[in-house]
Chain A
Amino acid sequence: MKLTVRQIVIAGVMSAIAIFLGASHLGFIPFLAGTAITIMHVPVIIGAVLEGPLVGVIIGALFGIFSLIQANIAPTGPGDLLFRDPLVSIFPRLFIGLTAYYLYVLLKRWNRIVALGGAAVVGTLTNTVLVLGMIGLRGYYPWPILVTVGLTNGPLEIVAAVLITLAVVIPWRQIESGRGKEGF
């Protein structure tokens, strides 16, 4: 497993953003009671799209570890206690980068912007489905509740993730979006 300097640095910086969004609660947009729309998985998606699946996995792992630490040290809500279980906090997050990256590569040749959007959608879905799935498999909450949470939180989280990903990656790579130059 070889990591270039750029991959190391992007992994570090994106992980810092994910951790910061979690620690400062900027990444939580409260929604009804108890749950929140989160955007802390977006750095994972962006890191994976920019630098590859390995970087995505690393950022996801660091995000998950921080999630675990935060749940143990500074729980900020009733839902936080679930993340004390590493299978809920770390394991699902490893896959966000993988799914985002592979979908991006698949769609890239067709249309870069759609590829980015798709990566964000898939990454967010991976996060939501796998985290809720692990919560369900471990028996912390009954499935109907989890499905409801997923269906209510999911769409808005996906939209937010797509918008942020596009707003960050397009200018960064100066992708042609009708005007502007092509610089990928």
Chain B
Amino acid sequence: MEDFELLRHITIGQYLPTDSPLHRLDPRVKLVAFTLLCGAFILGSGPAGIFMGLIVMLGLLVLARVPLHYALQGLRPALPWLLLLAVLQLFMVRPATQSDVIWSWGFLNLTIGGVQMAVVTLCRFGALILLVSLLTFSTDVTALTHGAERLLRPFQRIGLPAHELALVATIALRYVPLLAREMEQVMKAQASRGADFGRGHGGLIQRVRRIFPLVIPLFLTSLERAEALVLAMETRCYTGGRGRSHLIQLRSRPGDYVTLGIALLLTLAIVGVDRWLLQPNLGGWLAHL
């Protein structure tokens, strides 16, 4: 906890207004495409598909005019654990046939299957992180919640308060960076008065007690802020979602349907390429070298 820069950790939710074709898409389309592609990356297990998906993500980031090095920064916090996972997969995958094994030591087998799995895992996580960043870089939170609300509106008939839930999500997302900034200030103020935030030293009880002077003011100021927000909303006659009209009307354009179609094709491609088109046999391929 000695680093005070908590805001750094929240970069994944950043919005970059670069006015690219991706930015101008209807948020509902983006949400649906995002869900489809998410599913594709999670369910697809073939190396060709995942790798192709990763390249497409990078291409889309370029299309969205997002500086690549900034987008790749989002990968940095996860990197140590991804590498650890990859290394584990390198050695822990059971060899399919004996010819698969490149090197072994005790029960650890470095197999070609393991290499494949490790690479696929890295690409998959990378692609997922880039996908999320792509969504948040190109769509600001208001648009996202409008889109989510419109998508959930059919469920309002069975009692789901779509508008209210969208508002809860908006408020929550809007306050997270604020909390980060505030926490930084509180930590610096307390540290300058002699509080000790060194990471890890002291017993467990010490560490737990150290959290309290940070967390309790966090709650209390948030509750006060909540009261102010409630007052603000009520004085502006906010009465909930029933019969509410919207300033921003979402209208889909032909480009949106085209994008939806492309996303669907891409999803099928990522999941299906390895299964139906290629039959990668890395073992056989490497044996030729």
Q: Which A residues have a C-beta under 8 Å from some C-beta of B?
A: 1-3, 5-6, 8-17, 19-21, 23-26, 29-31, 37, 39, 42-43, 46, 58, 62, 69, 72-78, 80-81, 156, 159-160, 163-164, 167-168, 171-172
Nearest chain B CB to A121's CB is how many angstroms away?
A: 16
Nearest to A63 among chain B residues (CB) is: B172
* Top 7 closest pairs, chain A to chain B, by CB: A12-B171, A16-B175, A15-B172, A20-B179, A168-B219, A16-B172, A13-B226
Measured between alpha carbons, how far is A171 from B216 in the docked complex, in Å?
11
Is B222 interfacial (CB-CB < 8 Å)?
A: yes
Chain B residues lying within 8 Å of A42, measured Cβ to Cβ, are 215
Chain A residues lying within 8 Å of B238, measured Cβ to Cβ, are 5
CB pair A9–B171 under 8 Å, yes or no, is yes
Is B153 interfacial (CB-CB < 8 Å)?
A: no
Chain B residues lying within 8 Å of A16, measured Cβ to Cβ, are 171-176, 178-179, 222
**Which one, A20, A23, A160, A168, contacts B220 given CB within 8 A?**
A168
Nearest to A76 among chain B residues (CB) is: B81
CB pair A23–B10 under 8 Å, yes or no, is yes
CB pair B12–A73 under 8 Å, yes or no, is yes
Is B167 interfacial (CB-CB < 8 Å)?
A: yes
- The count of residues in chain B whose C-beta lies closer than 8 Å to any C-beta of chain A is 58
Q: Say whether, besides A24-B9, A81-B85, A8 and B167 are in contact (CB < 8 Å).
A: yes
Nearest to B218 among chain A residues (CB) is: A17
**Which one, A8, A76, A163, A171, contacts B212 given CB within 8 A?**
A163
**Which one, A43, A78, A81, A159, contacts B219 given CB within 8 A?**
A43
CB pair A9–B229 under 8 Å, yes or no, is yes
Number of A-B contacts defined by CB within 8 Å: 154
Chain A residues lying within 8 Å of B129, measured Cβ to Cβ, are 73-74
Measured between alpha carbons, how far is A12 from B175 in the docked complex, in Å?
8
Chain B, residues 209-226, CB within 8 Å of chain A (1/0): the string is 001101110111011011
Chain A residues lying within 8 Å of B84, measured Cβ to Cβ, are 78
The listed residue with most B CB atoms (<10 A of its CB), out of A8, A25, A37, is A8
CB pair B12–A58 under 8 Å, yes or no, is no
Measured between alpha carbons, how far is A46 from B238 in the docked complex, in Å?
25
Chain A residues lying within 8 Å of B226, measured Cβ to Cβ, are 6, 9-10, 12-13
Q: Which of B48-56, B200-208, B245-253, B277-285 contacts A (4 or more CB under 8 A)?
A: B200-208
CB pair A58–B168 under 8 Å, yes or no, is yes
Q: Given known contacts A13-B175, A160-B208, what 13 new A-B pairs fall within 8 Å (CB)?
A: A3-B240, A5-B230, A8-B164, A9-B226, A9-B230, A16-B178, A17-B222, A20-B180, A25-B9, A69-B132, A77-B81, A80-B81, A168-B216
Measured between alpha carbons, how far is A12 from B233 in the docked complex, in Å?
14
CB pair B204–A31 under 8 Å, yes or no, is yes
Is B264 interfacial (CB-CB < 8 Å)?
A: no
Measured between alpha carbons, how far is A171 from B220 in the docked complex, in Å?
9
**Which one, B78, B176, B219, B234, contacts A5 given CB within 8 A?**
B234
Chain A residues lying within 8 Å of B211, measured Cβ to Cβ, are 26, 29, 39, 160
Measured between alpha carbons, how far is A37 from B72 in the docked complex, in Å?
31
Show 17 residue pairs from A and B whose CB-CB distance is below 8 angstroms, ordered by the A residue: A1-B159, A3-B164, A6-B226, A8-B168, A13-B222, A16-B178, A17-B179, A17-B219, A24-B180, A26-B183, A26-B215, A73-B12, A74-B12, A81-B85, A160-B211, A163-B212, A168-B223
Is B95 interfacial (CB-CB < 8 Å)?
A: no
Measured between alpha carbons, how far is A62 from B165 in the docked complex, in Å?
10
Is B169 interfacial (CB-CB < 8 Å)?
A: yes
Nearest to A32 among chain B residues (CB) is: B204
Q: Considering the complex, which residues of chain B in the window 226-244 have a beta carbon less than 8 Å from any beta carbon of chain A?
A: 226, 229-230, 233-234, 238, 240
CB pair B160–A1 under 8 Å, yes or no, is yes
Chain B residues lying within 8 Å of A37, measured Cβ to Cβ, are 204, 208
